[in-house]
Amino acid sequence: MALVVNLLSLLFSTVIVHSNQNTVPLRSFKISENVTYDCIDIYKQPGLQHPFLKTHKIQMKSSVSRPELKMQTGKNETSNKRKIVCPNDTVPILRNTKEYVTNSQMFAEKHFHPLSADSPGTHIAGVRSSVGPFRGVQAWFSGNSLNVGNDQVSYSHIYIGSGSENQVNYISAGWIINPGLYEDQRVWTFGFWKGKDGKGCYNTACSGFVQVSKVIPIVEPYDLKTGVPGWMRYSIHQDKNTGNWWITQLMKDAPNEDIGYWPKELFNLLDNGANMVGVGGVVQASRSGLSPPMGNGNLPNGGRQDSGIFTNIEVLNSNYKQRKMNSFRTENLLDSDKCYGLRIGTVKPFHRTHLGFFFNYGGPGGISCGV
């Protein structure tokens, strides 16, 4: 009897950690003490359990051609030594604990997006354009190891969105440090969306996002050394044929990798592109009002290139033509110059490499930066 009870307990735990999924993983990868990925049948992944996706047909590859997602010459992206290679027809899904799902719901409710009203304790530094429609945005940007408190958040992201009256559709992706969600101080990649049901969601903590890559999950930890930035090239773009919104990791010396997509069925304001695109850094203060560092913790001072950076910021216009973001009317976002900074330029931040439009951002935080 004890054996039966233990087996039932194990079965119940498996249902929880696989996000109420009753499929058995073909393979699993434990990459650190509390981080395990399960290789799940791509047609049975938890993202497809969303009620809006009952008749959704999986799209295996973005139809936006590679020339439309070209990446200019720049610094090499950070390599996260491939620890995950799922078998064909399976995809890596982060094993969700019950605490992770609960915490992700809490942080999703507080996740800031530039289409919303001011969020108390949230501070931003970045650039956006609201003269869409746009079909996508891409950039090359840094991530840094920072000292962030358990009830603080610091992230760098690219994003697209549309708003109408009290409704918002929004997608963002990038680097994040969120000890309250991931239970460590590491830098993680992330994806976030908010759709027509009014709810937000991180990664695969709830259904909606469709993972396609078998080697790069939407959410993944990076062990970055203090003072040594990591580099990421992301593109969020709308598929020409299906209207789905893809996230692609752009590579310099290897084929681009389509990570997955947010199906068009999740949204009601993004059918014909997004009204707004942007890039930048965001922090959320602790309950006591102390704000964490942003970027790499340094303010952008004069000609020094020692703070957080976004560069090669490109957008896809309504006709899927790639253009520099500053060829459109842009708006600078900086709500607390007491704590953070923003500097825009078109110089060569790296020796012998012309990167065009870029901006430095960041600051040390660590004090009350106001509301």
With bands split at pLDDT 50, 70 and 90, how would you rate the model's confidence at 265? very high
pLDDT category of residue 322 using cuts at 50, 70 and 90: very high
DSSP 27-93: EEEEEETTEEEEEEEGGG-GGGGSGGGTT-----S--S-GGGG---S-SPPPP------PPTTEEEE
Q: What is the pLDDT of residues 60-90, one digit of tens each?
A: 989 886 554 454 444 555 555 667 899 999 9
Q: Sorting pLDDT into bands at 50, 70 and 90, what band is 15?
A: very low
The pLDDT score that the predictor gives to residue 155 is: 92
Average pLDDT, stretch 122-127? 88
Interval 45-52 mean pLDDT: 94
pLDDT at 357 over 80: no
User: Average pLDDT of 262-274?
Assistant: 96
* Stretch 113-129: mean pLDDT: 77
Q: State mean pLDDT over 240-251.
A: 94
149-171: pLDDT as tens digits: 988 999 999 999 998 878 899 99
Helix, strand, coil abundance in the chain, percent, nearest 5: 15, 35, 50
- Report the chain's mean pLDDT, rounded to a whole number: 82
- Rounded to an integer, the average pLDDT of 230-244 is 94
Angstrom CA distances, 3 to 12, 22, 200, 247, 295, stand at: 14, 21, 40, 45, 52
Residue 354 has pLDDT above 50, yes or no: no
Given a cut of 50, is residue 299 above it in pLDDT?
A: yes
The domain ranges of the chain are 30-63+84-362
Predicted TM-score of the model (pTM): 0.87
DSSP per-residue string spanning 248-316:
EE--SSS--EEEEEE-GGG-SS-TT-BSEEEEEEEEE--TTSBPPPBTTS----TT---SEEEEEEEEE
